[in-house]
Amino acid sequence: MANVKLAIIYYSSTGTNYQMAQWAEEAGSEAGAEVKLLKVPELAPESAIAKNEGWKAHYDATKDVPEASSADIEWADAIIFSTPTRFGNVASQMKQFLDLQGGIWATGKTVNKVVSAMTSAQNPHGGQEATILSLYTSMMHWGAIIVPPGYTDQVLFGAGGNPYGTSATQGQDGKIVGDVQAAVKHQAKRTVEIAAKVLNS
CA atoms within 13 A on the CB side of 97: 26
Residue 29 main-chain phi, psi, to 5 deg: -65, -40
Is the distance from CB of 118 to CB of 81 less than 8 angstroms? Answer: yes
Domain count, the chain: 1
- How does 129-159 read in b/e, with b if 16+ C-beta sit within 10 Å? bbbbebbbebbeebebbbbbbeeebebbebb
**For the domain that residue 57 is a member of, what is the CATH number?**
3.40.50.360
DSSP state letters, the chain: -TT-EEEEEE--SSSHHHHHHHHHHHHHHHTT-EEEEEEPPP-S-HHHHTTSHHHHHHHHHTTTSPBP-HHHHHH-SEEEEEEEEETTEE-HHHHHHHHTTHHHHHTTTTTT-EEEEEEEESSTTSSHHHHHHHHHHHHHHHT-EE---TT-SGGGGGGT--SSS-EEEE-TTSSEES-HHHHHHHHHHHHHHHHHHHHT-
Full domain range(s) for residue 193: 5-199
**Residue-level pLDDT, tens digit, the chain, 201 residues:** 559 999 999 999 999 999 999 999 999 999 999 999 999 999 999 999 999 999 999 999 999 999 999 999 999 999 999 999 999 999 999 999 999 999 999 999 999 999 999 999 988 888 999 999 999 999 999 999 999 999 999 999 999 999 999 999 888 787 898 899 999 999 999 999 999 999 998
